[in-house]
Amino acid sequence: MSSDNDISGIERSDVGISGISDTGTSNIDRTGDAVDNGHQGQTGASGAERAARRDEAVRAAVEQGLLGPDAPILGLLDITGIRESAAELRAAFDAVVAPGTPVLHAFAVKASPLVPVLRLLRDEGIGAEVASPGELALARAAGVPPERTVLDSPAKTPAELREALALGIAVNADNPQELDRLDALMRSAPSRSPIGLRVNPQVGGGSIEALSTATATSKFGVALRDEGAREWVVRAYADRPWLNRLHAHTGSQGIPLARMAEGLAETYALAEEINRRIGRPQIDTIDIGGGLPVNFASEETAPTYARYARLLSEAVPGLFGGRYGLVTEFGRSLLAKHGTVVARVEYAKSAGGRPIAVTHAGVQVATRTVYVPDAWPLRIAAYDTKGRPKEGPAVVQDVAGPACFAGDLLAEGRALPLLEQGDYAAALDTGAYYFAHHYAYNSLARPAVHGYTPDGSGGVAFATVRTAQTLDEIVAESGGAHASSLTTLRTPDRR
């Protein structure tokens, strides 16, 4: 077992939107999937190879002691798959842009804020999109160069802006007041940073309201269809020769591709209008954001980057003709399909005639799924006590987490091979926004995360991404050093 903390050093392998089905589905595989070939995506060998690598990794994790009675939960990342996704992203846009067009693919750090992941992506030609001082610190720790970093956030402080400008990091201003701050900073210390303005094309939302960023009242960017807003944007560029980018992000999971293309078309048209009206090609780069939806219903990768890039190039051909550089900010679509949370079944019980597998994975690693299960269903794979894919007839059962509230369920009424004590339940497609985003309910410890890849000799090599949180760390983060501080405060006598 490798102990190298840099997952980019794992040997490369030669291996080249819909919800989860309920019990009424007649075609169920061992993960509880509804087998659905209706998506236009990447099927066949790619998904099967990914599943095979995952199965081998779970078995090897149990064999090597990464999973077991004393290590009942683990996050796993498929390094081969991540590399493949990064290559597919680069190739998809290379195929549609004019030769020589500068393109920066900046990974949305919020999707997986883990330094070894950012280093791996850096080595695969991917930069970083950050939205907080913490995310910027992670990107810098991973060695992402400033010129391949983009700072987005609706709430940047003067200190954050000052640091970004000093480093030469690209900045997308969110609103007029932030642009005023940038005016003052640029007067006091001119910067080489590319600077853009985020606009909201207000083309509408999708099926998940919380991820719809181009609605009429979205908190992000300058709302283009509000009275006077478009004219204000044109003047903002005319008055600031250093304002040379334009940014928009229509939405993420649950947004139809056609709506994403519509938002990009509106943004491109605005860039053309600004450059024409101010009489110079001042905007030289358009940041199209990310947001490509992920299929959580099966192994299929759908939609693919290639399909999305072709759609955009057909909808907005002028954007890809070489007059504008491009920035993308994909996150979930790069990582989700390549992550798995595996948890030991501590107890198997029943209530009301329904079996319940009580595991160590719940709200602390799958917060969205537990609180909003209809919007964020996950596939569950069953493994036996040795980490091998579990066989047997499908049994309708619940897969529960360890937290002390009734709704802490990874899956409810799911048809799977019956999970028994000592087995393992795996939550699939959790490489983004799941185990990397710990929610400390019940002071549950952050689980360890390991990357894996075939070792070239029929086995599996692992590398540490993050060690499991210790009890001492939990106490320290919960104010342990200040245990008596509140008792020193005296309440004045009341009269």
* Radius of gyration of the CA atoms of the chain, in A: 24
Residues 54 and 452: their CA atoms lie apart, in Å, by 9
Neighbours of 43 (CB within 10 A): 15
Q: Work out whether strand 170-173 and strand 409-417 pair parallel, antiparallel, or are unpaired.
A: unpaired
Specify burial of residue 311 (Cβ count, 10 A radius: 0-12, 13-18, 19+): middle
Active-site choice (159, 404, 406, 486): 404
Long-range (24+ apart) CB contacts under 8 A made by 135-142 are: 135/109, 135/110, 136/160, 136/163, 136/164, 136/169, 138/109, 138/113, 138/114, 139/109, 141/115, 142/115, 142/116, 142/118
Residues 156 and 165: their CA atoms lie apart, in Å, by 12
Cα–Cα distance list, 433 to 33, 130, 139, 200, 260 (Å): 21, 15, 17, 24, 21
404 is catalytic: yes
The residues assigned a catalytic role are 404
